[in-house]
Copies of this chain bind each other. A is one copy, B any other.
Amino acid sequence: MIRFKNGRVMTMTNDMSIENVEVWTDKDKICFVGKPTAEQLKNASFEREIDLQGNLLMPSFKNAHTHSAMTFLRSYADDMSLQDWLFKQVFPMEAKLTADDIYWLSKLAILEYLTSGVTANFDMYFEPEAYVKAHIESGFRTVLCGSVSGDASNAERLEQDYNRFNGVNPLVSYRLGFHAEYTADYELIGAIGELAKKYKAPVSVHNSETQKEVAECVDKYSKTPTELFDSLGIYDFGGAGFHCVYMSDNDMDIFKNRGVYAVSCPGSNAKLASGIAPLCKMADKGINLALGTDGPASNNCLDMFREMFLMTALQKIAEKDAAAFDAKKVLFAATKGSAMAMGLDDCLSIEEGMQADLIVIDLNQSNMQPLNNIGKNIVYSGSKQNVSLTMCAGKVLYENGVFHVGEEADRIYAKANEIISEYSK
Contacts and interface: CB of A to CB of B under 8 A. Distances in A.
Interface of A: 71-76, 78-82, 85, 108-109, 111-112, 115, 267, 269-273, 275-276, 296, 299-303, 306, 309-310, 312-314, 316-317, 319-324, 326-327, 364-367, 369-373, 376-377, 380-385, 409-410, 412-413, 416-417, 419-421, 424
A313 B381 CA distance: 18
Contacts of A270: 313-314, 316-317
A420 to B, nearest CB: 5
Main SS at interface, chain A: helix
State the copy count for this chain: 2
B273 A81 contact: no
Given A75-B381, A271-B316, A273-B322, 13 more contacts: A71-B369, A74-B380, A76-B373, A270-B316, A273-B319, A300-B377, A301-B380, A301-B383, A366-B409, A366-B412, A370-B416, A372-B420, A383-B384
A78 B327 contact: yes
A312 B273 CA distance: 10
B317 A369 contact: no
Nearest to A418: B370
A72 to B, nearest CB: 6
A271 B365 contact: no
Given A115-B385, A300-B381, A369 B327 contact: no
A300 B380 contact: yes
A75 B302 contact: no
Contacts of A269: 317
Given A367-B115, A372-B76, A417-B369, A384 B385 contact: yes
Given A273-B320, A314-B270, A314-B317, A301 B367 contact: yes
